Amino acid sequence: MKVLAAGGGTGGHLYPALAILEELSKHVKLKVVYFCTPRGIENKIVPAEHPEYKLVKLDVQGLERPIFKPTNVKRVLKILRTKSIIASETDGSNCCLVTGGYVSYPLGLVCGKKRIPLYIQEQNVVPGLANRSLSRYAKKIFVGFEEAIINFPRSVRNRIVVTGNPIRVSNVNRGVFGEGYVLVFGGSRGSDLINTVMEKIYREEKNLKFVHGTGDPVWTKRLSIFDNVLALDYIYDMPSAWRGAIAVVCRAGALTISELLHYGVPAVLIPWEGAAEGHQVRNAEFVAKIGRGVIVRESEATPRRVLEAIEVAIGLGKLPEKETNPADTIAKIILEECL
């Protein structure tokens, strides 16, 4: 089976695509062409974890917000100019999978026009621009949250399937981080705010153990002086990191919250207030409402407040890992429709 795929820029778009592709490859011999930009996170992760995928780089940039800016005219033209490169890769493909980020747009557009079955996976309650614009060409739109439905055009809603977000469960390497620690990370690109407040906590708190993905080598060096902290630039094996954690301090990107719910890890959520349409705050509120996390707003994120919240989160207790994974449902639907 040949799949054309795109989704990246950030981990929040990349990992759901990998979760679905990895699930598909359990059932069929899979040939993947993965489209990316020279700057996106996928550029580093895809060749390292899936050297068998063909990586096609498209030199495009995302649109600036607000959308109606003169610089965006040039960027849109550049995105559209990639169409011939994409078209040269489409021969023999069974379907196309996009999970958001701006490379998804030209790929989805070319495939939509060529009537190659297009599948969209949207992680957030408020869909991104690429996924929303492509939805009219989609055969199916898999959404992480039911609340996302009303944010798609009425005409495509009958093709939406609420599955939950696909979770990566492979790369399992238990024991690398040990067990019984508080996991700390600030989304796929790290967070200075979380790093700063945690450094102050580490100076005082010596009873808890921490595994901290900093997003930045300078921060890793700074935080490595604490005996009870394992600081890493980036955590490649998140399934193991989740499995050993007793609580997490994190942002509230859609994938982060889907993963913490999947792995049953109680959370201290410090939502990034700058996220489009405030969607991280809404994600965090959802987790707090179902009793699986404590929200600390950025303006209130003092070391004392965050440490108190960590204690409350640990008290919520860990739940068993969920047995079902939306990646499985999505892969089955794609296989049924495309083979």
If one asks whether residue 265 binds ligand UD1 (CB under 6 A), the answer comes out as no
Alpha-helical runs (H) found in the chain: 11-24, 42-49, 70-81, 83-87, 104-113, 129-134, 192-204, 217-223, 238-244, 254-262, 279-289, 303-316, 326-338
The H-or-E segment that residue 2 falls in is: strand 2-6
Count of other CB atoms within 10 angstroms of residue 254: 25
7, 12, 62, 293: which one contacts ligand UD1 (CB under 6 A)?
Answer: 12
280, 309, 330, 331: which one contacts ligand UD1 (CB under 6 A)?
Answer: 280
Dihedral of alpha carbons 50, 53, 58, 60, sign: negative
Nearest CA among 101, 85, 105 for reference residue 39: 101
Determine the interface stretch with ligand UD1 among 5-13, 56-64, 112-120, 325-333 (rule: CB under 6 A): 5-13
Residues 6+ apart with CB under 8 A from 22: 168, 170, 327
CB of 14 vs ligand UD1, minimal distance in Å: 8
If one asks whether residue 102 binds ligand UD1 (CB under 6 A), the answer comes out as no
Amino acid at 226: F
If one asks whether residue 286 binds ligand UD1 (CB under 6 A), the answer comes out as no
If one asks whether residue 259 binds ligand UD1 (CB under 6 A), the answer comes out as yes
Q: Is 11 annotated as a binding residue?
A: yes
Q: Is 187 annotated as a binding residue?
A: no
Dihedral of alpha carbons 24, 30, 36, 42, sign: positive
Within 17-56, which residues bind ligand UD1 (CB under 6 A)? none
Within 217-256, which residues bind ligand UD1 (CB under 6 A)? 234-235, 238, 251, 253-256
Tokens of 297: 């707003």
Nearest CA among 319, 316, 165 for reference residue 243: 319
177, 181, 185, 226: which one contacts ligand UD1 (CB under 6 A)?
Answer: 185
CB of 160 vs ligand UD1, minimal distance in Å: 17
If one asks whether residue 13 binds ligand UD1 (CB under 6 A), the answer comes out as yes
Which CB sits closer to ligand UD1, 11 or 266? 11
Amino acid at 122: E
Nearest CA among 184, 128, 132, 180 for reference residue 160: 132
Nearest CA among 220, 238, 228, 313 for reference residue 270: 313
Q: Is 235 annotated as a binding residue?
A: yes
Which CB sits closer to ligand UD1, 85 or 236? 236
> ω into residue 16 within 30 of 0, thus cis?
no
Per-residue x/- marks for ligand UD1, 118-157, CB under 6 A? -----xx---------------------------------
Measured distance CA(272)–CA(10) in Å, rounded: 14
Which CB sits closer to ligand UD1, 102 or 272? 272
Which CB sits closer to ligand UD1, 42 or 199? 42
Binding residues: 10-12, 124, 168, 188, 235, 280
Binding residues for UDP-N-acetyl-alpha-D-glucosamine: 10-12, 124, 168, 188, 235, 280
Return residues touching ligand UD1 (CB under 6 A): 10-13, 15, 100, 123-124, 185, 187-188, 213, 234-235, 238, 251, 253-256, 259, 272, 275, 280
